[in-house]
Amino acid sequence: MARSSFSLSFLFSALLIINAFQVSAQKPVFTRQDTLRGSITPERAWWDITYYHLDISVNPLDSTIRVSNTINYRVTGNPTLMQIDLQPPMNLIKAVQNNSDLTFKREGNVYWISMKEVKQKDKIYSIVLSFEGKPRVSTRPPWVGGITWSKDKNGLPFVASACQGDGASLWWPCKDHMYDEPDSMLISVNVPENLVDVSNGRLRSVDVLRNKTKTYHWFVANPINNYGVNINIADYAHFSEVFKGEKGDLDCDYYVLKENLEKAKEQFKQVPLMLAAFEHWFGPYPFYEDSYKLVEAPYLGMEHQSCVTYGNGFKNGYRGTDLSGTGWGLKFDFIIVHESGHEWFANSITYEDIADMWIHESFINYSESLYLEYYFGKDAGSEYVLGTRSNIRNDRPVTGFYNVNNEGSGDMYYKGGNMLHTIRQIVNDDEKWRNILRGLNSEFYHKVVKGSQIENFMSLKTGINLKTVFDQYLRDIRIPVFEYNVKGNKLTFRWNNCVAGFNMPMKIFVSGKEKLLYPSERFSTVQLDVENATIMPDKGFYVAILNISGN
Ligand SMILES: [Zn+2]
């Protein structure tokens, strides 16, 4: 997802009134519904999804979605009740197994389904869930989840879903927790005959029905996370190309409103540029089997897997503006680069708990600078990262609360990107750094992960214990202060305003010569080659600097 510029300015003005420490001290109140949504309950843990067939009919005339989701699952534990998530005003009508109706009870956003017979471990079973309703309409897509029922210039329906955070159970019944992904999925969408549905994966077939409707069958051959599943319905124009990538031919398909076809043909020339840059930094595009698609949607954009949605107005920047204030942000289409970058960090490497959403957003915020570096050089990328610092709020920790579907601070974007840029300065070896980024993508290819797995991998591969670095930037709101003092040929320094045990190495330039220091919270002194040298801390580190000699 892209950071909302609206909430940025709103929260900034709110912060002028409320002291940041008061904000951080307020632990939100969580409900039983939050726990049911955000944790791996016993009623989720005993079954492992192997396959979904979401088979729906979408009616733009009355804003309804109906029909069924078939779930194949492997029994992995002791079957009790089955937890299925589906949020009001959507309703579950029926749950059928082996032609036999199952009974169920609703508790808010959750249905408890009673399983009739005892199931055998490791065997695969199937359940068909019939549902219908008018799903919640999004008031601010994609930041508030729901369906957007819009129209194109000819008055034809232009419909799309987006549901990160709020959950796929806003519009279809599923196990709405990120830890469990189906191995594959079929998405069948029935729409009026004059419209096209574009969903994830590859188009298998289109059924033309007698009732003046068509059903589009999209098959996803890879594991897919819940919020990645999406529908996009419009009178689309289509064009395509083949990208020659690291793993061979990658089919790229583009769907845009007919009125925007010419603009799209020009703007989407950035897609192969994006793919080349990200394959260089992160490794092969992770879903060759499912192809890459960029699909126009009636909102800014979202990283739907192999079906990235686009609404950036066919302009460079973020809605035509530069988030870094350096000018570099206008060199690329923010939504093409940012949302597509999520194919690597979000769709291939996926957070298990949204509290660790930094795994998606920190790397992809940082990827914007990597894109610039690839085409405009290292300084361009660096200037961009440093420029985005003005957007950091240090209001709350980047990490949210676990097991209650809680996101951390929006600082997961700019502060997260700056944390990675800082770590890169410590590594101080561009090829090693690139190998770590590519290593993450091969180690955790198509995996759901905890933040700690990413942190440990980076410590292991950098050869530096980064524990306190992650503690500082992800779980604390303070900016560490590098305090130093030069007297004669002696340099005295320490970290202050930091987490206990903070020991991040720090790079400085002593009269222009690079030097790596190992500060701790206690003052250390090193001898310099020159008297009264000028000390320039490396600007790539996201830290505060205090010359305590007062010079
Ligand atoms: Zn994002």
* Amino acid at residue number 222: N
Residue 365: closest CA among 400, 338, 389:
338
Closest CA to 8 of 342, 538, 411: 411
pLDDT of residue 10: 40
- The yes-or-no verdict on residue 269 having pLDDT over 80 is yes
Rounded CA gap, 375 and 118, in Å? 59
pLDDT value of position 25: 52
Position 202 confidence tier, pLDDT thresholds 50, 70, 90: very high
Residue 15 pLDDT > 90: no
pLDDT confidence bin for 22, thresholds 50/70/90: very low
CA 341 to centroid of ligand 1, rounded, Å? 8
Q: How far is the CA of 416 from the centre of ligand 1 (A)?
A: 12
Residues 520, 523, 528, 531: is their CA dihedral positive or negative? positive
Three-state DSSP at 19 gives coil
Ligand 1 centre distance from Cα of residue 333 (Å)? 14
**pLDDT at res. 80:** 79
DSSP β-ladder status, 481-487 and 490-496? antiparallel
| Out of 114-118, 197-201, 355-359, 391-395, least confident range | 114-118
As a whole number, the mean pLDDT across the chain is 95
Which pLDDT score, from 0 to 100, does residue 451 have?
98
Q: Using CA atoms, how far apart are residues 361 and 296, in angstroms rounded to an integer?
A: 22
- What distance in angstroms lies between residue 507's CA and the mean position of ligand 1's atoms? 30
pLDDT of residue 367: 98
DSSP secondary structure, 407-451, as one string: ---GGGTHHHHHHHHHHHHHH--HHHHHHHHHHHHHHTTTEEE-H
- Please report which helix (H) or strand (E) contains residue 497, including its range: none
What is the 213 CA–ligand 1 centroid distance (Å)? 35
C-alpha 14 – ligand 1 centre gap (Å) = 23
CA of 401 to the centre of ligand 1 (A): 19
**CA 315 to ligand 1 center in whole angstroms:** 18
- Long-range (24+ apart) CB contacts under 8 A made by 496-501 are 496/521, 496/546, 497/544, 498/468, 498/472, 499/468, 499/471, 499/472, 499/475, 501/468
**pTM (two decimals):** 0.95
Give me the numbers of helices (H) and strands (E) for the chain, helices first please: 13, 29
Average pLDDT over residues 483-508: 97
Residue 470 pLDDT > 90: yes
What pLDDT does residue 79 have? 75
- Report pLDDT for 49: 98
d(CA 323, CA 7): 14
